[in-house]
Structure 1
Amino acid sequence: MIRHPQAGYTRLEINNHKGDMSQEKPSPMPEDKNFSAINLNAAGIDIGADRHWVSVPVGRDNESVRSFGCFTANLYAMADWLKICGVKTVAMESTGVYWIPVFQVLESCGLEVRLVNAHYVKTVPGRKTDVLDCQWLQQLHTYGLLSGSFRPQEQICVLRSYIRQRDNLIKSACVHIQRMQKVLTQMNLQLHRVISDITGTTGMAIIRAIVTGERNPDVLASHKDGRVKASCAEIAAALTGDYRLEMVFILQQELQLYDFFQIQLSACDAQIEQCLASFGSKVDVNASPLAKPKRRGKKQPGNAPQFDLRSELYRMSGVDFTQIDGLGAVSVLTLISELGLDATRFPTVKHFTSWLGLCPGSRITGGKVKSSKSRRVVNRVAATLRTAAQSLCRSHSALGGFYRRLAARLGAPKAITATAHKLARIFYRLWTTGNLYTDPGLDAYEQQYRDRTLKNLKKKAQAFGLELIPISDPTECVS
Structure 2
Amino acid sequence: MQSILKCCAGLDVHKMMVMATVQTEDENGEIKEITQSFKTYRRERRKLRDFLVKHQVELVVMESTGVYWKCIHETLIKAGLKVWVVNARHVKNVPGRKTDVQDSQWLATLGRCGLLRPSFVPPPDIEQLRLLFRRRQKLVGQIAGEKTRLHKVLDDAGIRLGGVVSDIHGKSAQDMIQGLIDGLPPQELVKFARGKLKSKTKRNYSAPTR
Q: Shared topology, TM-score over 0.5?
A: yes
Specify every segment of 5 or more residues in structure 2 that has no aligned partner in the other structure, as ranges: 27-31, 205-210
Q: Which amino acid aligns with 2:53?
A: K
1:51-450 to structure 2, matched below 5 A, reads 51-58=17-24, 64-125=34-95, 127-211=97-181, 213-228=182-197, 231-232=200-201
SS in 2 for 1:57: strand
1:40 matched to 2:40? The reply is: no
Residue 127 of structure 1, CA deviation? 4.7
* In structure 1, distance between residues paired with 2:89 and 2:36: 24
* In structure 2, distance between residues paired with 1:65 and 1:210: 70
Q: Which amino acid aligns with 2:8?
A: A
Residue 209 of structure 1, CA deviation? 3.3
Residue 230 of structure 1, CA deviation? 9.3
Q: Deviations over 1:323-350 (max 9, x none)?
A: xxxxxxxxxxxxxxxxxxxxxxxxxxxx
1:24-39 to structure 2, matched below 5 A, reads 32=1, 35=2, 37-39=3-5
Give the direction of change, closer, same or farther, for the CA distance of 1:170–1:113 in structure 2 (3 Å limit). Answer: same
SS in 1 for 2:196: coil
Q: Which amino acid aligns with 2:10?
A: G
Give the direction of change, closer, same or farther, for the CA distance of 1:87–1:126 in structure 2 (3 Å limit). Answer: closer
* In structure 2, distance between residues paired with 1:230 and 1:103: 62
Specify every segment of 5 or more residues in structure 1 that has no aligned partner in the other structure, as ranges: 1-31, 236-479
Residue 162 of structure 1, CA deviation? 2.1
Of 32, 37, 49, 2:15 maps to: 49
Give the direction of change, closer, same or farther, for the CA distance of 1:153–1:126 in structure 2 (3 Å limit). Answer: closer
Q: Deviations over 1:425-455 (max 9, x none)?
A: xxxxxxxxxxxxxxxxxxxxxxxxxxxxxxx
* In structure 1, distance between residues paired with 2:180 and 2:36: 64
* In structure 1, distance between residues paired with 2:128 and 2:172: 37
User: Which structure is richer in relative contact order (CA contacts within 8 A, separation 6 or more)?
Assistant: 2
* In structure 2, distance between residues paired with 1:131 and 1:72: 22
Residue 126 of structure 1, CA deviation? 6.0
SS in 1 for 2:10: strand
SS in 1 for 2:23: coil
Q: Which amino acid aligns with 1:39?
A: L
Give the direction of change, closer, same or farther, for the CA distance of 1:206–1:105 in structure 2 (3 Å limit). Answer: farther
Q: TM-score, normalised by structure 1?
A: 0.38
* In structure 2, distance between residues paired with 1:208 and 1:67: 62
Residue 165 of structure 1, CA deviation? 2.0
Residue 216 of structure 1, CA deviation? 1.6
Q: Deviations over 1:199-244 (max 9, x none)?
A: 2333333233334x143212223322323499439x9xxxxxxxxx
More strand by share: 2
Q: TM-score, normalised by structure 2?
A: 0.80
* In structure 1, distance between residues paired with 2:7 and 2:199: 72
Identity of aligned residues (%): 35
Residue 139 of structure 1, CA deviation? 0.9
Residue 117 of structure 1, CA deviation? 1.0
User: Do 2:23 and 2:34's aligned partners in 1 also have CA atoms closer than 8 Å?
Assistant: yes
User: Do 1:218 and 1:232's aligned partners in 2 also have CA atoms closer than 8 Å?
Assistant: no
User: Do 2:10 and 2:62's aligned partners in 1 also have CA atoms closer than 8 Å?
Assistant: yes
Q: Which amino acid aligns with 1:147?
A: R
Give the direction of change, closer, same or farther, for the CA distance of 1:94–1:221 in structure 2 (3 Å limit). Answer: same
* In structure 2, distance between residues paired with 1:226 and 1:201: 10
Aligned length: 198
Q: Deviations over 1:273-311 (max 9, x none)?
A: xxxxxxxxxxxxxxxxxxxxxxxxxxxxxxxxxxxxxxx
**Root-mean-square deviation (CA), in Å?**
2.7
Q: Which amino acid aligns with 1:223?
A: F
User: Do 2:6 and 2:25's aligned partners in 1 also have CA atoms closer than 8 Å?
Assistant: no
* In structure 2, distance between residues paired with 1:46 and 1:221: 67
Q: Residue 208 of structure 2 corresponds to which residue in structure 1?
A: none
Q: Which amino acid aligns with 1:219?
A: E
Give the direction of change, closer, same or farther, for the CA distance of 1:55–1:229 in structure 2 (3 Å limit). Answer: farther
Residue 156 of structure 1, CA deviation? 1.9
User: Do 1:91 and 1:141's aligned partners in 2 also have CA atoms closer than 8 Å?
Assistant: yes
